[in-house]
Amino acid sequence: MRRSVIAIAAAFGSGIIFGLGLAIARMIDPQKVRDFLDFAAIPDGGWDPSLAFVMGGGVLVAFVGLRLNRVLARPIVAPAFQTTAKTRIDSRLVGGAAIFGIGWGLSGFCPAPAIANLGIVPQSVMLFVAAMLAGSWLTGEIAEWARKPMTPKPQAVAG
């Protein structure tokens, strides 16, 4: 089979396993996510620590899995391992994360569970997913526009 076909199949499989994990962990339920974020409910026993176990399980496996580049010269069906070159902790990172957290707390949805719910209760999450795409796209366009140097328009020569 062609490399590119296997690469697409692997990404498809990765998506399926991700969605399966979210559903088994019940992170598809925004109420359950907010029950974790509700720290004020700890004293009266209404707190649900499940999300911490999801993160713990995921980070532990990924801690080993994402170090496979130390034993593999290159990915099985791709030319190179790709990671971000960004190392700077700036206001964009902190501000963006802060804005994301407000939307996450408000709805109980972060991107993966919202998209995953398109396979469970699509009519309930369609608006959220569309707004998320619009927000991300618009931010990307504005960032791209701001990154471009201001080039002065060539002056029309009178005469």
Residue 51 sits in the site that holds other proteins (CB under 8 A): yes
Residue 76 sits in the site that holds other proteins (CB under 8 A): yes
CB closer to other proteins, 44 vs 158: 44
DSSP-derived 3-state class of residue 154: coil
CB closer to other proteins, 102 vs 156: 102
User: What distance, in Å, lies between the first and last C-alpha atoms of the chain?
Assistant: 66
Cα–Cα distance for residue pair 86/8, rounded to 1 Å: 27
- Binding-site member from 70, 85, 87, 150 for other proteins (CB under 8 A): 87
Cα–Cα distance for residue pair 159/145, rounded to 1 Å: 34
**99 to 118, contacts with other proteins by CB under 8 A?**
99-107, 109-112, 114-118
Total binding residues toward other proteins, as defined by CB under 8 A: 121
For residue 32, the 8-state DSSP code is H
